[in-house]
Amino acid sequence: MQKRCIALTCSRSVYNLSVNSRGIRMGKMSNKQTRTDVILIGAGIMSATLGTILKELVPDWNIKVFEKLDKAGEESSNEWNNAGTGHAALCELNYTVEKPDGSIDISKALKINEQFQLSRQFWSYLVNHNLISNPQDFIMPLPHMSMVQGAKNVEFLKKRFEALSNSHLFQGMEFSDDSKKLMEWIPLIMQDRTSSEPIAATKIDIGTDVNFGALTRMLIDHLERKDVEINYEHKVENLKRTSDGSWEVKVLSDSGKLEYHTAQFVFIGGGGGSLHLLQKTGIPESKHVGGFPVSGLFLVCNNPEVVEQHHAKVYGKAAVGAPPMSVPHLDTRYIDNKKSLLFGPFAGFSPKFLKTGSNMDLLGSVKPNNVFTMLAAGAKNVPLTKYLIQQLMLSKEQRIEELRDFIPNAKSEDWDIVVAGQRVQVIKDTPAGKGTLQFGTEVINAEDGSVAALLGASPGASTAVHVMLEVIKKCFPQHIKEWEPKIKEMIPSYGKSLAENQELFYEVDSSTAKALGLTESKSLQMVGSK
């Protein structure tokens, strides 16, 4: 990336050429063309995180960001377009699976928890080095709870609690099926509950509510102060490999002019829009990959008296056939420094890949190389299709009825409907079969590491630091040894397992809680009191 260009051959009209230490930079031109080190497509949490990490590792690299909207963090990263859960597997039941022998597999929960710890460490580094400030504007301590109803589900939850409690990552979690204790924890949920069905919950105080929109804007503002060029209302139209192995990115600017920007590394972090751009690269890794869009709705409480009666994120169990992103939960949220209460999400369907996308997005993503993959996914996921149709048909009052499983006395007039963000679940051929629907976050990169794209959904933003470290590892392997000391400075547990290193976890938990104004784990508090 740092080689000096000594010649340029280009058929496009060019004016005011100038040479700097990075190569040739071109100024005013009829069809603007410039060369840079790194291009980030999309100004969401993923691009903002990758750009921030790279600027710490190699401050002199030239980075450009292209965003088709007029602000940063307006799609999936926006605070109204996601649940704001700092996903650490503290409350999400789909991260712990009951095996055929009745035991609980907590391996995925451990992995997700460790990945969120990386994010906490990096955010703490940024705060401690005054690169961002006021962490309470994007992260707040909030209990995470799981709640289930029915004897079988209560039994599962108790076994899950016992399994997780064996790990120091989850120490401090409490379980109760006692109605008086539950009334203390979740009075809004327990009040006026007349059902005789068994009910139980787990509670852990070290959970968080994260405003990923606010965090994204902080990171983008920081990058601008570091002379990263942020281009809003610039839509990437195409990506094309050049003869020297770099990538030419065709961009339509807000003025209607075409620009051509060339870089040796391109990251496609455009949310649901990433799939189309990945397909345009033509790399072999983009073949036999499709996407299935799922939209969502939340009920938002407009009655401050009701909002004040609840203080937790309470996750339930997903309905049979529902995607993981549709797990019902009643969440306290902090948005614009105001306490809010949301319930949902209700799944829906739109052929758009972005809220601001086109109704032709889904059809346009079907290519000769993935059509059979897409058809196989459709055949395999008939229950999901039925579930989405049922969700689409729900009236507001029917949604309120589902809310009453959580809040028995919920009143329709206290709640409004808000449309959440679009998610595009990855469809690909895997050892499990053709057209497997993937529920999670996935990076697809070229073999030579010159381009990478982020696809998928939850846990997404919560594990952005982990995901971007994986991008760096795969796409810049020649630099990893050189960069490792700085990475470890930013993320002390890098390369180590917090699940296997109790003392390191206590150290990390304490330092990040202090920097971010969060709650320390009870296990650490007990150690400190001895």
Confidence of residue 9 (pLDDT cuts 50, 70, 90): very low
Report, as an integer, the average pLDDT of 501-511.
96
pLDDT at 323 over 90: no
Q: Count CB-CB contacts under 10 A for residue 448.
A: 9
Under a CB-based contact definition with an 8 Å cutoff, are residues 380 and 299 in contact?
no
Quick: pLDDT tens for 449-491: 999 999 987 778 999 999 999 999 999 999 999 999 999 999 9
| 78: CB partners within 8 A, 6+ apart | 212, 213, 421
Our CA angle for 118, 122, 125, nearest 5°, is 140
CA distance 287 to 523: 47
**Can you give the pTM of this predicted structure?**
0.90
Under a CB-based contact definition with an 8 Å cutoff, are residues 76 and 272 in contact?
yes
Confidence of residue 3 (pLDDT cuts 50, 70, 90): very low
**Could you tell me the CA-to-CA distances from 191 to 98, 170, 256, 442 in Å, in that order?**
31, 28, 58, 41
Confidence of residue 106 (pLDDT cuts 50, 70, 90): very high
* DSSP secondary structure letters along 311-334: -SEEE-PPPTT--GGG--EEEEEE
Q: Which domains does the chain have, with CATH numbers?
A: 17-76+213-283+446-457 (3.50.50.60), 85-202+502-530 (no CATH), 289-437 (no CATH)
pLDDT at 321 over 80: no
Quick: pLDDT tens for 394-421: 999 999 999 999 999 999 999 999 988 8
Please report the pLDDT score of residue 33 as a whole number: 66
Quick: pLDDT tens for 29-65: 445 568 999 999 999 999 999 999 999 999 999 999 9
Report, as an integer, the average pLDDT of 68-85.
93
Please report the pLDDT score of residue 101 as a whole number: 94
Residue with tokens 């968080």: 208
Residue with tokens 């068994």: 198
| 151: CB partners within 8 A, 6+ apart | 198
**Could you tell me the CA-to-CA distances from 21 to 18, 37, 60, 242, 398 in Å, in that order?**
10, 12, 10, 21, 63
DSSP class of residue 285 equals G
Biggest CA pair distance of the chain: 79
Under a CB-based contact definition with an 8 Å cutoff, are residues 83 and 345 in contact?
yes
CA distance 246 to 205: 48
